[in-house]
Amino acid sequence: MRTSFLVSSVLAVLAPALAIADSLHVYPRSLADEHPGQLSKVITSNSLCSNGVITDANSTGKFEVVNGIRTYIAYPRGKKSKNAILYLSDIFGVDLINNQLLADSLARAGYLVAVPDLFDGDAVPTDFMGNPTFNLTEWRIRHPPEAIDAIVTSSISALRGEQFGVEKLGATGYCFGGKYVTRFLAPGKGLDAGFTAHPSQVVAEEYQAVTKPLSIAFGALDSITPAQRIATEAIFQTNNLTYQTALYAGAEHGFAVRTDLSIPQKKFAQESAYFQAVRFFDAWVKV
């Protein structure tokens, strides 16, 4: 009772701050803060990316059509696995090589990894990173939650079905994808655990509905405020959720997928977020 009272009091104090935004985790209003960047060799060390130059030739997975959805599949050693990770990308989609390489790295940790094309070929072009002229509002209208939910539902069904035969299924989501990891950690949605990094557009009701283990990597330079982070954790504590959060100094929006590795803080943050995800999945997903 006392814990619930304290958490309710914290939320009451934070209410004015949270009312400023439509969601706990506000997505950038433009692409001005989006940026190209690299993946650490610590993450990609066993891939073909040996010279630090990321190209399409560096990825080791392959594209397959899964339940009618173009999907990048990264297989673990031996191809078969009872453990899988559904990888829900940022707005730059499955064709961003960083997303493919990160999926490959998760596969090397012992997971079958599936990265569905959430946008049916209409991801935000990488040429617009850092360009505030791209109309994100119009783009988001073309990809409403119900459309993304349908793709995620179909992907989960395929992974748990005869084609893949997965017994335990986690999901990882970056930026845009983080919202949908959260949505599918509600009861009966098909996920066993989730990890998100710099999630965007997650509303309080979605966090309230989570019942499965969730780990979140926050960047101190992202648009999410300290009050919003505290409010998120207060929800988890009130609901007695198994959760983990980490805040990385010097880390910007998008750091877990693409960052400037010449800056030690950013390099540390990206590598640590990757190991945060793997350790969490090893604890709550591996059979």
Instruction: Record the tokens describing residue 101, joined without a space.
Output: 């390489």
Split at pLDDT 50, 70, 90, the class of 146 is: very high
Tell whether the model's pLDDT for residue 143 goes beyond 90: yes
Kindly tell me if the per-residue pLDDT of 25 is higher than 90: no
Q: Which of 95, 104, 192, 222 is catalytic?
A: 222
**Active-site hit among 49, 175, 192, 198:** 175
Range scoring the smallest mean pLDDT among 45-59, 68-82, 236-250:
45-59
Confidence of residue 36 (pLDDT cuts 50, 70, 90): low
Model confidence at 284: pLDDT above 80: yes
Q: What is the pLDDT of residues 248-270, one digit of tens each?
A: 999 999 999 999 889 999 999 99
- Tell me: the pLDDT tens digits for 217-250? 999 999 888 999 999 999 999 999 999 999 999 9
pLDDT at 132: 85
- The answer to whether residue 253 is catalytic is yes
Looking at the predicted structure, is the pLDDT value of residue 30 above 70?
Answer: no
For 189-196, which contacts have Cβ atoms below 8 Å and span 24 or more sequence positions?
189/156, 190/153, 190/156, 190/157, 190/160, 191/86, 191/156, 192/168, 192/284, 192/285, 193/280, 193/281, 193/284, 193/285, 194/170, 195/170, 195/171, 195/276, 195/277, 195/280, 195/281, 196/172
Mark whether 127 is an active-site residue: no
pLDDT of 35 reads 61
The pLDDT score that the predictor gives to residue 48 is 35
The answer to whether 253 and 29 have CB atoms below 8 angstroms apart is no
Q: Point out the catalytic residue in the list 25, 143, 198, 253.
A: 253
pLDDT of residue 153: 98
Query: Residue 37's pLDDT band (boundaries 50, 70, 90)?
Result: confident
Q: Is position 49 annotated as part of the catalytic site?
A: no
What integer pLDDT is reported at residue 248 of this predicted model? 97
> How much is the average pLDDT of 183-203?
97
